[in-house]
Structure 1
Amino acid sequence: MITTKDLTKVYRSRGREVTALDGVDLHVREGEVFGVVGTSGAGKSTLIRCVNMLERPTSGSVTVDGLELTALPGSEHRPGRELREARRRIGMVFQHFNLLSSRTVQENVELPLEIIGADRHDRRRRAAELLDLVGLGEKARSYPSQLSGGQKQRVGIARALAAEPRVLLSDEATSALDPETTRQILALLRDLNRQLGLTVLLITHEMDVIKSVCDSAALMKGGRVVESGALTDLLADGRSRLARDLFPLGDFAAGTASSAGRDRTVLEITFQGDAPAQPFVSQLARTYQIDINILGAAVETIAGRMVGRMRVELPGGHPDNVVPIGYLREQGLQVDVLDPARPHPGADPVTSANGAAA
């Protein structure tokens, strides 16, 4: 539904050049919620503004719903007719709401339809439908100053849906909201994704947003996408930086284990679906009569599935634990053996899930 290829954006000012996007390749599938996460300055906002051509890329291509937007004539300030029509199929939700204070809630939602020349009756009908959809039907005649932050963002979402877009872009839509309101807005975005079949691309700096609402995600750093994919695939990859940020277990080094060196084996175990409900640690201890030290664990619900990661320590070196490790893998668990000599958790696991050298 959304594809960028070798996307570059360079800003030039007073003889200086700043590269905000540096060859970004991204693919968002139809009907999914895709999150782009990264720190400030990573290029997230520039990316989403290039997707709807509020910023025209320096090079590369952007394709949305089968139409290559970068091939259409016009600039971000003077878009041609084809680009204007293409933008109508892309809704945008902003961080700071951008509501007109002199207009009522209903009039704010009607604004995109007014711009494209829809008649008054159709505008009112559509605005009423959308306000009911986002839970603000009773606030139609209120003004933005009379609303809470969460209500203002709901109006912004309704306005973004006015022209019946197939794609919804969210630019840090929850960063100005308190945690409870953030959860409500994210739940609304997920409901709209399911009810309307919307493809949602959101950017955020919060891992909790990725956990709670996204099907897939990409990690940006320095204007580049350094990792991307479906969350379930990333969580099954012992070397995934995104997965480790979603489930932080702290740093692992030789001193972490109760006995450093070859007489201890440290495992990182990733589990999904029904696996977290199984007492595999106690079963392993009873079956093989071994003492297991739990060094860290995190369990979350992601995209409706229970997912987690655990770091455990077994007595004896890796050759002594081949059978117990095999037992864990037979239970459908992702198991990575960590090398105590390496300072970063799982960055270079000794073995991958199938037992091959990583």
Structure 2
Amino acid sequence: MNAPCPATPRAAHSTVTETHVITTQGLTKVYRSRGREVTALDGVDLHVREGEVYGVIGQSGAGKSSLIRCVNLLERPTSGTVTVAGQDLTALAGRGPRAGKQLREARSRIGMVFQHFNLLSSRTVQDNIELPLEILGKSGKERSAKALELLDLVGLSDKAKAYPAQLSGGQKQRVGIARALAGDPKVLLSDEATSALDPETTRSILQLLRDLNQQLGLTVLLITHEMDVVKTVCDSAALMEHGQIIESGTVSELLATPGSELASALFPVSGDATGADRTVIDVTFHGESATQPVISQLSRTYNIDISILGAAMDTVAGKQVGRMRIELPGRYEDNVVPVGFLREQGLQVEIQGPQGESAPVLQKEGVTK
């Protein structure tokens, strides 16, 4: 098993009274094959708040898929607990390989969207959406009305009688989303739902997920390996490596956390000092500070020449957010006052060392690097 990485900060939620719809505690999943053990999940604690879009990001093999499949117990955890909407699903699992009635009922309230759509080619679009309602024992009239309502919701009201082979990839995924909503779930799980789609279609599917999140009050847990997905649609995010969550929090918290790997990956900037007598600083702008001419004010106030080595700016959750790497003349001790000026403007400031590493001077209480 891999030990937790001590060098990475982990953002903490500040409110203890908020409602968590999805919680995992000490979640471990060990696969055994041919005498070998592979630990896919290693003591994962996850807390997803009601009504948010939460993204879990990591490279292939990080444990993301095992995590999301353990949330609805498609994979049985080796140890630990999974609680969804106040119900401990691991307590319902039983000992046999087949899910019991209580677990099946609990799963019906959790929608799941798959990477490769998983539509039945022999069924029409409407019939695919009706399938989970058939399993729930709904009448034909109820199934038909619900399917047509959901098709309208995902923008495919004219495709009810079409077959999957007649649809584009984006349309197939919209059908998959509609099918996942058939049981009126409060939680929607998305397993790499956009990774097989082109960029434009990906944007439309992400916007649909956000719209559904807001219109239906859905709590959405999605896994992805694409930073743009987190940037576009997520309220909170977690970074997974080697079966562990090494960093988590709201996107705004992460952006304000010195040394955050997720923040650096969302808004990558680069550039080295042009000389030994230069100070390189990473500045993070978010909220009102993103629209203020802070760098030009700094230059005028202290009559210093500032070089911009790199910059990245985008919109996250409807707000402009960006990072900029700048170079100031002189060593750090010569720039204490200008750095203080930037912090007074509400900016996150991170001093960079000679090879681009964060300098220890920026350590905050409770954050190690």
Which of 219, 224, 227 is the matching residue for 2:239?
A: 219
Deviations 1:168-206 (A, max 9, x none): 000000000000000000000000000000000000010
Aligned mates of 2:317, 2:95 — CA distance in 1? 38
Q: Tell me if 1:23 matches 2:43.
A: yes
SS in 2 for 1:10: strand
Which of 20, 45, 58 is the matching residue for 1:38?
A: 58
CA contact (8 A) 2:113 2:177 kept: yes
Map 1:164-313 onto structure 2 (within 5 A). Answer: 164-250=184-270, 256-260=272-276, 263-313=277-327
Aligned mates of 1:349, 1:99 — CA distance in 2? 53
C-alpha change, 1:2 and 1:267, in structure 2 (3 Å) is same
CA contact (8 A) 1:269 1:333 kept: yes
CA contact (8 A) 1:12 1:18 kept: yes
SS in 2 for 1:237: coil
Taking only the aligned residue pairs, the percentage that are identical comes to 70
Letter in 1 for 2:310: G
Which of structures 1 and 2 has the larger relative contact order (alpha carbons within 8 angstroms, sep 6+)?
Answer: 2
Offset of residue 339 of structure 1: 2.7
Offset of residue 324 of structure 1: 1.2
C-alpha change, 1:8 and 1:171, in structure 2 (3 Å) is same
Offset of residue 88 of structure 1: 0.8
C-alpha change, 1:357 and 1:175, in structure 2 (3 Å) is closer
The alignment's TM-score, normalised by the length of structure 2, stands at 0.91
Deviations 1:58-100 (A, max 9, x none): 0001000001101114368411111111001100000000001
Aligned mates of 1:86, 1:288 — CA distance in 2? 62
Aligned mates of 1:353, 1:180 — CA distance in 2? 40
Offset of residue 329 of structure 1: 1.3
Q: Once superposed, what is the RMSD of the aligned Cα atoms?
A: 1.6
Q: Tell me if 1:123 matches 2:143.
A: yes
Deviations 1:261-316 (A, max 9, x none): xx321111111012122111111111111000111111111111111111111111
C-alpha change, 1:276 and 1:133, in structure 2 (3 Å) is same
Deviations 1:7-47 (A, max 9, x none): 10011111111111111111110100000111111110000
The alignment's TM-score, normalised by the length of structure 1, stands at 0.94
CA contact (8 A) 2:258 2:362 kept: no
C-alpha change, 1:357 and 1:117, in structure 2 (3 Å) is closer
C-alpha change, 1:357 and 1:242, in structure 2 (3 Å) is closer
Letter in 1 for 2:157: G
SS in 1 for 2:161: coil
Give the aligned partner of residue 101 of structure 1. 121
Deviations 1:221-263 (A, max 9, x none): 111111111110000012101111111113x6xxx21211xx3
C-alpha change, 1:357 and 1:97, in structure 2 (3 Å) is closer
Q: Tell me if 1:9 matches 2:54.
A: no
Aligned mates of 1:344, 1:259 — CA distance in 2? 13
Aligned mates of 2:78, 2:368 — CA distance in 1? 41
Aligned mates of 2:51, 2:57 — CA distance in 1? 19
Number of paired residues? Answer: 348
For structure 1, which runs of at least 5 residues remain unmatched after alignment? Answer: none
Aligned mates of 2:310, 2:97 — CA distance in 1? 52
Give the aligned partner of residue 362 of structure 2. 351
SS in 1 for 2:335: helix
C-alpha change, 1:235 and 1:10, in structure 2 (3 Å) is same
Offset of residue 216 of structure 1: 0.5
Letter in 1 for 2:193: A
SS in 1 for 2:171: helix
Letter in 2 for 1:275: S
